[in-house]
Amino acid sequence: MKIFINNYFNYISSRQKLILLILSIFLIASIFLGFIYGGFSISLVNFLKLDFTPIEYEVLTKIRLPRVVLAFFVGSALGIAGATLQGLFRNPLADPGLIGVSAGAALGAVFAIVLINDLINLSYLGDYLLPLSSITGSLLTIILLYTITKGFGHEGVTYMLLIGIAINALATVGIGIFTYISSDNQLRGLTFWMMGSFGNSTWSLVLPAIALITISILWLLPYSRQLDLIQLGELEALRLGIDTKKLKLNVIFSCAFMIGASVSISGMIGFVGLVVPHLVRLVGGVNHNYLLLGSTVMGGSLMVLADLLSRIALKPAELPVGIVTSAIGSPFFLWLIIKVKKN
């Protein structure tokens, strides 16, 4: 592990290490603000002294702490998944939503909410039914995507993006059908879930998601150099000794696990996987050793801040965090399209 860490940071310049340090400080500040402020604010003096009133202690440990931790891990997952997929597809507009992973995970979750209990009695799964259904949906999407594109050979990466967009559209149709046949109570739950929220964060759901996201991130990091080399083209990467088939398989399935775990608990949260990698590139460069770490840290930071904004914008009511990220991300997306067109 020590050798891997040393080798990993050897490919990160001093300037990039400084940027990662600044991003880490920004993350700590974001988490600090996320702990203190919200519908019920915790005294800054009490927080610094770690001396809380009984109600502050209950709010911090049972509501605020799991929520902020989950927001960080979901943001980190979306950030690194976006950076990895953009590198794999060599496309700056790629993100988990564009290849159908998010929609597949959402379709699995919507199926669980609306229909699965009418077909099979899975009540014994309790709160884990939704996450398991969501992860299953994302995995089935990835398997379908990989199976279809496997026959395209070295051009598979290009076709994978196009087929992913088609799968995304099909999954959206499925979500629409389930929404149409849902009951009033189910429809209300679906509506808020589709907008994205961390309001129902509990440790029983957060801890398994954290474990799955952490394992997936650690699994992705060793492929940073290979992602650098594949920017030369898939055939060139093959000539340099890169097993591109193994690279695609590991990247796609790791992203599927992360996105499935994230969507299952937080719902649909857009634009983070698109915006964060570009912000990290703008300030530090395109080296994937730096880019994956930077996207992980910045994605977590921005998601914690977006969740904080969703809690205080309409206090005491709560704004869905997906609306906040979309309001920030959509103008950036338009700017990115205009920039790509000019280049």
Model pLDDT for residues 200-229, shown as the tens digit of each residue: 788 888 888 899 899 999 999 999 999 998
Q: Supply the pLDDT for residue 181.
A: 84
Q: Sort residue 243 into left (φ over 0), alpha (ψ -120 to 50) or beta.
A: beta
Closest CA to 147 of 159, 133, 137, 134: 159
Domain positions in the chain are: 15-342
Residues 76, 266: contact at Cβ < 8 Å? no
Count CB neighbours of 203 within 10 A: 14
pLDDT tens figures, 4-30:
777 788 888 899 999 999 999 999 999
User: Which backbone phi and psi does 86 adopt, to 5 degrees?
Assistant: -65, -35
**What does pLDDT average to over the chain?**
84
Task: Provide the greatest CA pair distance for the chain.
Answer: 64
Distance between CA atoms of residues 73 and 69, nearest Å: 6
Tell me the mean pLDDT in the region 63-83. 93
Distance between CA atoms of residues 18 and 103, nearest Å: 36
pLDDT tens figures, 133-176:
888 888 888 788 777 877 666 556 667 778 888 888 888 898 88
- Secondary structure of residue 60 in the 3-state scheme: helix
Question: What is the dihedral sign for C-alpha 275, 152, 103, 143?
Answer: negative
For 102, residues 6+ apart whose C-beta sits below 8 A from its C-beta are 96, 138, 168, 259, 263, 268, 270
Q: Which amino acid is at 17?
A: K
Residue with tokens 């931790």: 69
Residue with tokens 């799955």: 212
pLDDT tens figures, 242-276:
888 888 888 888 888 888 888 888 888 888 888 89
Closest CA to 302 of 101, 102, 34: 34
- Integer angstrom CA distances of residue 97 from 50, 270, 312: 41, 8, 28
Q: What is the CA radius of gyration of the chain?
A: 20
Residue with tokens 């599927």: 256
Residues 116, 129: contact at Cβ < 8 Å? yes
Q: Supply the pLDDT for residue 340.
A: 62
Instruction: Name the token pair of 131.
Output: 């996450």
Percent of the chain at pLDDT above 70?
Answer: 91
Residues 157, 245: contact at Cβ < 8 Å? no
Indicate the CATH number for domain 15-342.
Answer: 1.10.3470.10
Q: In this model, does residue 195 exceed pLDDT 90?
A: no
Break the chain down into helix, strand, coil percent, rounded to 5.
85, 0, 15
Residues 85, 96: contact at Cβ < 8 Å? yes
Count CB neighbours of 50 within 10 A: 7
Length of the chain equals 343
pLDDT tens figures, 312-329:
888 777 888 988 898 888
Helix axes 65-89, 272-284, angle to 10 degrees: 70
Closest CA to 273 of 295, 249, 294: 295
Distance between CA atoms of residues 115 and 110, nearest Å: 8
Q: Which amino acid is at 21?
A: L
- Integer angstrom CA distances of residue 215 from 218, 221, 297: 5, 10, 16
Residues 77, 244: contact at Cβ < 8 Å? no
Q: Supply the pLDDT for residue 7.
A: 77
pTM across the whole model: 0.89
Q: Supply the pLDDT for residue 124.
A: 52
pLDDT tens figures, 107-137:
888 888 787 655 555 555 556 777 778 888 8
